[in-house]
Amino acid sequence: MAGFLRGYILQYIVLVFYLSSSSLIVDAIQTRFVLNDRPIIGIVSQEVYNKSDYSLPPTSSYIAASYVKYVEGAGARVVPILVDQDEAYLRRIFNSINGLLFPGGAIIFEYDNSTINNSTKGFVSTGLFLMKLAKEANDKGDYFPVWGTCLGFEFMLFAEGNGQDARTQCQANNQLDKLRFQKDAMQSMLFGKARKSVINTLGTKAVTANFHHLCLTPENFTRFGLDQSYYLLSTSYDPVGNVTYVSAVESINYPFFAVQFHPEKNIYEWTKKENLPHSPEAIEAAQYFAMFYVDQARKNTHSFNSTTEEEAHLIYNYIPTYTGLKGDTFVQKYFFPFDWSKKGYN
């Protein structure tokens, strides 16, 4: 009888422990997956560099609409971040969005003390200040992801290198290529949980669209000390210039990710002037990057102070221009006038 009681008591203790442990596990899982299902990504605009882009009224900056669609297609909304604004504006926007995207483009990188401390000098100064805010936030436990594409990739590494331009000339313009995955790739956040079909496509088929005349070689990646801050995840090859270059990176210490190629073009750009891959496999691979990044942004809980304020800053307030109709390689662009900062920021 005593043995039976001991056995019963033991079972009871085990049951109580199991139930309490299960409750803790469920609470932990629920806490882990209470994510932001209304993420907003801030896309940094850049100075207009093509004279044909100047319209009436005059415009100071633009965002290619394919980046907006890229983010929206993954379940997020977009707030444009204007250049030549003051730090108060940038802080307000940063504290209201859940992630940051630096797009491709054509901007000359300049870096000096005036650039670092003056947010009114365009894309580079704006970007440097936002990267500073992103690092500060993450250091405080405020998970804030950053993504860079092409020029954005180059800019993020330029910023990390304290203004040292590690790029070299290449001819990887209008080229499709596969990715050559490096040793850290399959353990990375960016590629570690990608579907096998995506990894197979990226690694065996030319589905990444490259449009750049400057490349970061693996040698310069190490020589300039960027390997101390970023993992080199993949390389690509420029057969015209005979240059192997870095094509995907991930920060060692922050949720920062960047690719030299253009995933958004696979899905949302249609010019016949460019060699763009639109196969089902190319679309799946491109869509993976968007979904991955937006999922990172879901971990951030920044928000605007009110629905009214949020609505006032969303990209929906602006109408994209059908620039492809005039021969532009971008199907659509959003243009922002010189006095845009007066809208909603009194």
CATH for 153: 3.40.50.880
**Higher-pLDDT residue of 166, 102:** 102
The b/e string for 13-27 (b: 16+ C-beta within 10 A; e otherwise) is: eeeeeeeeeeeeeee
Task: Please name which of 198, 184, 168, 192 lies closest in space to residue 263, comparing C-alpha atoms.
Answer: 198
Compute the distance between CA of residue 254 and CA of residue 132 in angstroms, rounded to an integer. 12
- In this predicted structure, the answer to whether residue 145 has a pLDDT above a threshold of 90 is yes
What residues have CB less than 8 Å from 217, skipping those under 6 apart?
168, 243, 244, 245, 246
- pLDDT tens digits, residue range 155-205? 999 999 877 788 888 888 899 999 999 998 999 999 999 999 999 999 999
Percent with pLDDT over 90 in the chain: 66
User: For the chain, where are the alpha helices, taking DSSP H only?
Assistant: 2-32, 65-72, 87-94, 113-117, 123-139, 151-160, 189-192, 196-204, 218-223, 263-268, 280-297, 307-313
Task: Write out pLDDT tens, residues 252-288.
Answer: 999 999 999 999 999 999 999 999 999 999 999 999 9
Is 133 a member of any domain? yes
In a domain? residue 20: no
* Confidence at residue 35, expressed as pLDDT on a 0 to 100 scale: 87
Identify whether 17 is part of a domain.
Answer: no
Q: What is the tally of structural domains in the chain?
A: 1
> 0.75 exceeded by the pTM?
yes
In this structure, the number of other CB atoms found within 10 A of the CB of residue 97 comes to 28
Q: Any idea which residues carry the catalytic annotation?
A: 150, 262
Kindly state whether residue 178 falls inside one of the protein's structural domains.
yes
Do residues 318 and 334 touch, judged by C-beta distance below 8 A? yes
Whether residue 67 is contained in a domain is answered as yes
| Residues contacting residue 4 through CB under 8 Å, at least 6 positions apart | none
pLDDT at 169: 83
Percent residues over pLDDT 70 in the chain = 81
pLDDT tier, 8 (very low <50, low <70, confident <90, very high otherwise): very low
Q: Can you tell me the mean pLDDT for 87-92?
A: 94
User: What range defines the domain where residue 140 resides?
Assistant: 38-342
The neighbour count for residue 281, using CB atoms within 10 Å, is 17
Q: Is 327 helix (H, G, I), strand (E, B) or coil?
A: coil
Is residue 11 one of the residues assigned to a domain? no
| Residue 3 within any structural domain of the chain | no
